[in-house]
Amino acid sequence: MTRHILKPALATAALFTASAPAVAQSLDEQVNQIFANSTGWFVNLIFSPFPGTNFPWIVAWLVVAATVFTLYFGFVQVRAFRHSISIVKGDYSDPDDAGEVSHFQALATALSGTVGLGNIAGVAVAVGIGGPGATFWMILAGLLGMASKFTECTLGVKYRNEYPDGTVSGGPMYYMTKGFAERGLPAGKPLAVLFSIFCILGAFGGGNMFQANQAHAQITNVVGDYPGWITGLVFAAIVFAVIVGGLKSIARVTEKVVPFMGVLYVLTALIIILMNFDKIGWAFGQIFDGAFTGLGVAGGMVGALIQGFKRAAFSNEAGVGSAAIAHSAVRTKEPITEGYVSLLEPFIDTVVICTMTALVIIITGQLVVDANTGNYMLNEAGSSIVTVDGNSGVALTSAAFSSAFGWFKYILAIAVILFAFSTMISWSYYGLKAWTFLFGEGQSKEMVFKVLFCVFVVIGAAANLGPVIDFSDAAIFAMAVVNITALYFLMPIVKREMKSYNARLKSGEIKKFR
Residue closer to another protein (CB basis): 255 or 317: 255
Q: Does 84 bind another protein (CB under 8 A)?
A: no
Phi, psi of 513 (to 5 degrees): -100, -15
Tell me the angle at which helices 355-363 and 248-275 cross, rounded to the nearest 10 degrees.
Answer: 40
* Binding residue for another protein, selected from 17, 105, 293, 502, defined by CB under 8 A: 105
Rounded to whole angstroms, the Cα distance separating 226 from 231 reads 9
Size of the site for another protein (CB under 8 A): 35
Answer for which of 114, 332, 402, 426 binds another protein (CB under 8 A) is 426
Closest CB to another protein among residues 109, 357: 109
Comparison of 14 and 107: residue with beta carbon closer to another protein: 107
- Using CB under 8 A, pick the residue from 2, 84, 112, 231 that binds another protein: 112
95 binds another protein (CB under 8 A): yes
165 to 204: interface string for another protein, x by CB under 8 A: xxxxx-----------------------------------
Does residue 341 interact with another protein by CB under 8 A? no
- Binding range to another protein, per CB under 8 A, among 136-144, 344-352, 424-432, 448-456: 424-432
In order of 64, 428, 476, the CA distances from 199 in angstroms are 22, 10, 6
Q: Which is nearer to another protein, 247 or 275 (CB)?
A: 247
Using alpha carbons, list the distances in angstroms from residue 333 to 93, 103, 138, 351: 10, 12, 34, 30
Question: Does residue 22 belong to the site contacting another protein (CB under 8 A)?
Answer: no
Least Cβ distance, residue 428 to another protein (angstroms): 9
Q: Which of residues 52-81 bind another protein (CB under 8 A)?
A: none
Neighbours of 348 (CB within 10 A): 19
Q: How far, in Å, CA of 291 to CA of 310, rounded?
A: 14
- Of residues 96 and 278, the one with the C-beta less far from another protein: 96
- Which of residues 90, 227, 296, 365 is near another protein by CB under 8 A? 90
Q: Which stretch binds another protein (CB under 8 A): 22-30, 136-144, 421-429, 491-499?
A: 421-429
Task: Report the residue from 10, 101, 185, 411 that binds another protein according to the rule CB under 8 A.
Answer: 101
Cβ distance to another protein smaller for residue 107 or 219: 107
Contact residue for another protein among 203, 329, 458, 479 (CB under 8 A): 329
**Comparison of 97 and 389: residue with beta carbon closer to another protein:** 97
SS3 readout for 390-451: CCCCHHHHHHHHHCCCCCHHHHHHHHHHHHHHHHHHHHHHHHHHHHHHHHCCCHHHHHHHHH
Query: Smallest distance, Å, CB 429 to another protein?
Result: 4
Q: Please state the closest distance from residue 432 (CB atom) to another protein, in A.
A: 9
CB–CB of 18/225 below 8 Å? yes
Complex with another protein: residue 106 or 238, whichever CB lies closer: 106
* 17, containing H or E segment: none
Give the residue, chosen from 2, 77, 102, 464, that forms a contact with another protein under the rule CB under 8 A. 102
Q: How far is the CB of 184 from another protein (least distance, A)?
A: 30
Largest Cα separation within the chain, whole Å, is 71
Minimum CB separation from another protein for residue 137, in Å? 31
Alpha-carbon gap, residue 428 to 83, rounded angstroms: 32
Alpha-carbon distance of 159 to 170, in angstroms, equals: 7
The b/e string for 389-402 (b: 16+ C-beta within 10 A; e otherwise) is: eebbbbbbbbbbbb
Q: Which of residues 246-265 bind another protein (CB under 8 A)?
A: 248, 251-252, 255-256, 259
Q: What one-character DSSP code corresponds to residue 313?
A: H
How many residues are there in the chain? 514
Return the number of the residue (437 or 471) whose C-beta is nearest another protein: 437
What gap in Å lies between CA 213 and CA 234, rounded to an integer? 13
Please tell me the distance from the alpha carbon of residue 472 to that of residue 12, in angstroms, as a whole number: 14
Scored b (16 or more CB within 10 A) or e, 273-297 reads: beebeebeeebeebbebbbeebbbb
The verdict on 425 binding another protein (CB under 8 A) reads: yes
482-501 residues in contact with another protein (CB under 8 A) are none
Contact 153, 324 (CB under 8 A): yes
Interface contacts to another protein, rule CB under 8 A: 90, 93, 95, 98-102, 104-106, 108-109, 112-113, 165-169, 242, 248, 251-252, 255-256, 259, 326, 329-331, 425-426, 429-430
